[in-house]
Amino acid sequence: MRGRWIGVLMCLCAALLSACSSVPSSRSAPVTRPAAADASWPDPVAVTELKRAGGAMEHPLLDVAVLVFDTGLDTVQQGDVDTVFAEVRKAESLFIPVQLRRTLEESGHWGVVRVVPERPDSTALSVSGKILHADGRDLVLSVTAVDAAGREWLSRIYRGRTSATDYPVDDGRDPFASVYNQIANDLQAVRSGSDAATIATLPDIALMRFAERLAPAVFSDYLERTESGRLALTGFPAEGDSMLQRVRRLQRQENLFIDTVDEQYRVLVEEFAPTYHLWREYSRELVVYEEDYVARASQREIQSRRGTFSAMQQTYNTFRRAKVHEQDLYELATGFDNEVTATVVDVDDRIFRLQGSLREQFAEWRSLLERIFALETYPTP
């Protein structure tokens, strides 16, 4: 009889564990991420102060495009320990570049800094990144910066780690501010250590790249590609050149559209930032709890005799607490919604309605500019 009851209790415990593991559904099923410790990650950056511009400004002030970060979901391995939520990671791919843009702006070392969905041709410096790991305690980013000439300024992995005192998050503050400060300081170090004449040519190279995309037959001769893949100017159109004036006008229109895209990203991030910071706080608590539990379990045996109901109840109670945390994270994850409204552009008395994701809108807008340039340059009879 006793053996029968033990069997029933074990079945009941298994059923309870199965029920507890059922979490609320999200728009995207969760995928697993690599374990929180990775030997390839660097040590967390130290508390870093942002180096701000002072005294005479460096000229020219280069415009910077910060690309929406790669979510890193394509490299996630199934079967690992932790759980990353796809919708949260998508939000993080917007949140992180917006925070980096604000840091670059605050430094005062740069011109216009914009967040964009794709790398533009008309920007002197582009910064891209990939999220390797993100939770409330650790943030690991792979960051690359390349200028208009194709010279790599930066290719580095950054890691930040928070403490309990970083939460709750105050308005206008980010627990991983030191990571953004370090990236900004590294970019400025490259800028300061570069040849002034080389830096001065980058805006013109960016303009010619933009012009070449609009009219390759006309502007490709102004750029030379070296064996290493870099670009150099071989000349520049006269200031009074009518086609150059058209290119500059369309560049201004593209920048206005990019400003609109950047503003949508900023507003979106401001809307979900409070929920995201709360999710980070819960996430950090869960990571710390799991590590503490593993450490405790490795130092002591379960007090009750193995195979008894008391031992199973101990195991289940610990498992349930972890699952309650995960359920809370799922509920917070559903608060992220990256939908955007349609953008309407009025050009030459015609309405072009650009719909879809901002990435799709940006690609459609660039195609539209090419059509406008062709119509103005080669009008049909």
What is the predicted pLDDT for the residue at 91?
84
Distance CA 113, CA 105 (A): 7
Tokens of 211: 């012009």
Exposure class string for 130-166: b at 16+ Cβ within 10 A, else e: bbbbbbbbbbbbbbebbbbbebebbeeebbbbbeeeb
Distance CA 313, CA 318 (A): 9
Query: pLDDT tens-digit profile of 322-360?
Result: 555 555 555 555 544 333 333 334 433 333 444 556 667
**Residue 62 contacts residue 205 (beta carbons within 8 Å):** no
Tokens of 367: 């195609």
**Residue 232 contacts residue 153 (beta carbons within 8 Å):** no
Please count the CA atoms within 13 angstroms of the CA of 128 that sit on its side-chain side.
Answer: 11
What is the predicted pLDDT for the residue at 161?
94
Distance CA 111, CA 58 (A): 10
Query: pLDDT tens-digit profile of 149-202?
Result: 999 999 999 999 998 889 989 877 899 999 999 999 999 999 999 999 999 999
Q: What is the pTM of this model?
A: 0.76
Decide if pLDDT at 261 tops 80: yes
Q: How many angstroms from the chain centroid is the CA of residue 33?
A: 17
**Residue 99 contacts residue 127 (beta carbons within 8 Å):** no
75 CB contacts (<8 Å, ≥6 apart)? none
Query: pLDDT tens-digit profile of 295-326?
Result: 565 555 555 555 555 555 665 565 555 555 55
What is the predicted pLDDT for the residue at 380?
55
* Average pLDDT, integer, range 27-50: 66
Place of tokens 């980058």: 202
Tokens of 28: 């995207």
Q: Give the Å distances, CA to CA, from 208 to 101, 227, 252, 350.
A: 25, 19, 14, 28
Q: Is 88 left (phi over 0), alpha (psi -120 to 50) or beta?
A: alpha
Distance CA 187, CA 194 (A): 11
Q: Is residue 85 helix, strand or coil?
A: coil
Decide if pLDDT at 282 tops 90: no
Return the closest-CA partner of residue 61 out of 102, 13, 110: 110
Query: pLDDT tens-digit profile of 95-148?
Result: 999 999 999 999 999 999 999 988 888 899 999 999 999 988 999 999 999 999
Distance CA 238, CA 22 (A): 68
Distance CA 109, CA 88 (A): 32
Query: pLDDT tens-digit profile of 217-253?
Result: 889 999 999 888 899 999 999 988 988 998 898 888 8
Q: Is 192 left (phi over 0), alpha (psi -120 to 50) or beta?
A: alpha
**Residue 341 contacts residue 316 (beta carbons within 8 Å):** no
Strand partners, 352: 345
Tokens of 114: 């914009």
Give strand ranges (E) for 56-137. Answer: 64-67, 83-84, 113-116, 125-134
CB atoms within 10 A of CB 63: 21
